[in-house]
A and B are shown apart, each in its own frame.
Chain A
Amino acid sequence: AQTVTQSQPEMSVQEAETVTLSCTYDTSESDYYLFWYKQPPSRQMILVIRQEAYKQQNATENRFSVNFQKAAKSFSLKISDSQLGDAAMYFCAYRSAETSGSRLTFGEGTQLTVNP
């Protein structure tokens, strides 16, 4: 079974600064997908960024980028120019590509605080 680990229960960053959230995962599969979701106080889960494991290029979405290290099974999220609205719980998630419609496996989450 796959597992996802987020070793930082809490992180904080100053507004306009850069922060990196860590995520590692364990799998024996070679083809899979990785995701970062954001959960603000409203508790709505919002997709931040996603990465296909077969792609070597790191995904980027505006101020959000990932550092995907397949051999190390690491998938960290970098937030540049942090804004107050980035404050939220961030979840890393894994999905197997071997079966369509398969489930997401989530990490425990990292609570990000943005200080003005």
Chain B
Amino acid sequence: DGGITQSPKYLFRKEGQNVTLSCEQNLNHDAMYWYRQDPGQGLRLIYYSQIVNDFQKGDIAEGYSVSREKKESFPLTVTSAQKNPTAFYLCASSIIGQGIETQYFGPGTRLLVL
């Protein structure tokens, strides 16, 4: 089945710890995105990547890092510098250069701080 997978579904972070959220897609999409969702709010962009080995900061990149070594994968690391990481994290992907470029989303990862 084609789609976007995120793992784990739930993740717990201890103080001072870095954690990595996985996002994989087999849709052959060019662009991938990470969004953060806080309770009762809309989604805010953390990072996005249009091509392998290149990525751009979104609105709330501080305390996060990403890599794009493969077209299919766009992992997000939540570093210890992110002081309020508890949120729901959504990964999305899209084709680019072909009209409307709809973004499709994975099932999300819920990050909780211990």
Contacts and interface: CB of A to CB of B under 8 A. Distances in A.
Interface of A: 4, 33, 35, 37, 42-47, 50, 52, 91, 95, 100-101, 103-104, 106-109
A44 B35 CA distance: 13
Given A52-B100, A95-B101, A104 B43 contact: yes
A104 B45 contact: yes
Contact of A44 (B30, B41, B101, B105): B105
A100 B96 contact: yes
A6 to B, nearest CB: 8
Contacts of A45: 43, 90, 92, 105, 108
Contacts of A37: 105
Contact of B31 (A43, A101, A106): A101
Interface of B: 30-31, 33, 35, 40-45, 48, 50, 58, 88, 90, 92, 94, 96-97, 99-105, 107-108
Contacts of B40: 108-109
Contacts of A52: 99-100
A100 B97 contact: yes
B94 to A, nearest CB: 7
Given A103-B45, A104-B43, A108-B41, 7 more contacts: A37-B105, A42-B107, A47-B104, A101-B31, A104-B92, A106-B42, A108-B42
Main SS at interface, chain A? strand
Contacts, number: 59
A101 B50 CA distance: 6
A9 B35 CA distance: 21
A91 B42 contact: yes
A33 B58 CA distance: 19
A21 B23 CA distance: 31
Contact of A100 (B43, B45, B88, B101): B101
Most chain B beta carbons < 10 A, residue from A33, A42, A52, A103: A103
